Structure 1
Amino acid sequence: MSGRRVIIDTGNSAVAYAVKDAEVKVIAAYPITPQTTIVEKIAQFIEYGQMDAKMIRVESEHSAMAAIIGSEAMGVRSFTATSSHGLALMHEMLWYASNARLPVVMAVANRTMGPPWNIWADWGDAMADRDIGWIMSWAANNQEVYDFTLISYRVAEDKRIVLPAMVNLEAFVLTHTSMPFEICGEETREYLPEYDPVWKLDPDDPIIMGNLFSPADTMKLRWDMWESMERAKKVIAEAIREYNERFNRNYEGLIKTYKMDDADYAILSMGTIGEEAEVATDVLREEGLKVGTVRINFFRPFPREDIIKTLNGVSKVIIFERSSSIGASGQIMQDLGQSLLLEKMQLDVNDVFIGIGGTDVSYEDIVNVVKKAIKGDLAPLYWYGSEGW
């Protein structure tokens, strides 16, 4: 393992380097576009003797998750990656990983669900699993892809949490786009020590795993998962602060704010759209509009307190979502609305569906939408570009 250095590579490679630096010992995966090059890169590390790990080649994504559930249950740090229909095929086993309190980490290359077949970016694949009990982060660039993967291991394995974690990166926009990022190499060991499991299968001390639970015990289990996810807000913040100090980063925490100190209007999003919104914010500021941006780094646990505190005092929030809950609204909108109700707070909100199916999203698109919203010319639930359909 080498020291810290800056390389230029894709988001998928950033995941692979993070897995290598985390000294993961078992990887199981099945190829699917646009995830495949993650596990190909890891396989290359193993083949060249740069990584001491076992690669399990399985016949499906369902089997990939089942395999790392098994290895994690034996007390071994494990990893997999998938996308879209592969994630959907895993769905049953995702419940198993969270309910069994196994802190596996998985990268998801967010891709549109078919049919019709579409391999481009969409958050909908991961959003379908948001209520299962997985910690979920959304990266906006390749540096965050690398960093959030390491932070996810640190948080997931924390004995106060012990929940699986999903690192999301958008198809092709990040997975296959090269940009500079710094890898931490051997310095990662001090930040991410050897995995010390809360429980594991041991032939010398046998236990029953996954036995039939009573209704009361099941409810207690889910309550405990709920409590752990709530605690994760504090643990994520702690893990990020230490990461910043060790590796000279400047992450705020579960969210990132941009020019929100005096903002009258706020853009709320995540991933690459959230980063593009910062450029739009600069343009709108130049035109005299006091706009700021709030970007969600960790969607689960939902950073309710941080968002509400940041939005206090703004007159309007415009949400940009790369997925939709058909028949309701966007998923960010649902969580924000719940948060506003819990805090007894009212805000004027527009929920904008944009970039779905991988359509390009530029800062000009965001600027145009925000201007319409400020003028009051935007429907509360708005599909960008739908006027011409």
Structure 2
Amino acid sequence: MFEREKEQLNGLKKEYENIPISIDSIDQAISTGFQKAKAEERKSRMKKRSAFGFIAAALLLIGLFSSIKNSPALANYISEIPGMEKIVSMIRDDKGRMAAVEKNYYQRHGVSDEKDGLKVTIDGTIADEMGIVLFYSIESKEKLKEVMFDDVKIRAKDGTVLDEAYNSFGDSHTSDKGENKFSGEIEYFFEAPIETKEYIVELQLKDKEFYIPLTLKEFKKKKDYAVQQTMDLEGQKINIEKVTIYPLRAVVKLKMNEENEKYILQLDDLRLVDENNEVWGNIANGITGSGDKDTEREVYLQSNYFKEPKELYLVLNSAQAIDKENAVIVVDTEKMKILKQPDGNKLRNLRKEDGQLVFDLHTKKPFRSAIFSTITDAQGKEIEVSSQSMGTEEEKGTTRLGIELPSIDRSQNPLTIDLSYYPEWIKGNEKIKIK
């Protein structure tokens, strides 16, 4: 069966290789796409802790082909289980979840609920004591051009209270011509460990409610590594307290040193590395961490749970960081002036455009991250952000950053904008042995 799937993918691969597309055309298409795209945040509900994430896109076909070629176990899954190739394509950028599938830790369900011509099916799950990833499909008798869940909840069938941390149920599924079937994944994580038991998944879709029963098999136990060591990047210290590895992800618990002169925003290349230099890095598509920039924080990495390395290291070479004295952006939306920002004058040309508050970010290389976090008014009241947009203008060396805000009156000015990303870095060469 493996040879049949390999031949089919080889055929598709050859077709792609024979398409006459120049590198310049690809670069232009990517540039145009970033200029036009409006990157809305994933629709997520978060409780107790702030969470940040990065959403990345990838070319799936060649990566999927390579994964199948190198893994007979994965080939068997794809050949024997209908629809499994779609699930593998969703997780192919996460080595930990791919390993979970290869090690038969993926659990098939195929349970559904149907209302008025719409059918929602939970095809399968990968779960551990702190989270559940659900893979679903939506079928419609009528062709749909757009579909997205309005809400998703998981509750224990016996009434046990689940201490939810956050969930994420992805982007809107769209089709210009209309489709009858869509597939996706839902991430659901908890503050406290859950137990193997029966659950009910409640989903809201197009003003309809779906209730799907779910029974999870036994979870594999976590692996804890006490660390209590310090990393140092240009004098800025990061205290690594412990690393916990679950089937779904690795959790690095850390704390920033109070004496640091800078806020460390993102640990760009924090990663696990074994004795053979195999790397488990940042989560490519989903929530990548939680906590505040100046207190305790958790960073989520891809999981090496299903590997048993003799040695395991935590490595860091780069982090985004800004001076604490200039760690926010302050703007007057009446006068359209930037009153304060981090050193370097990278943000310029504040304006209103297409119903958004827009900045130009000037950097030597494109910086493709939506940098803004919490926004508060002059009275300290938080302002809800409807969406953020981002587009690069390669010829100008700028990135257009937009924020969609409600109507702001004079008394609310100036606005203070916290930052979750920013194009300033500190460097180092830190390597801590955790096993």
Q: Report the TM-score when normalising by structure 2.
A: 0.26
Q: For the pair shown, which has the larger CA radius of gyration, 1 or 2?
A: 2
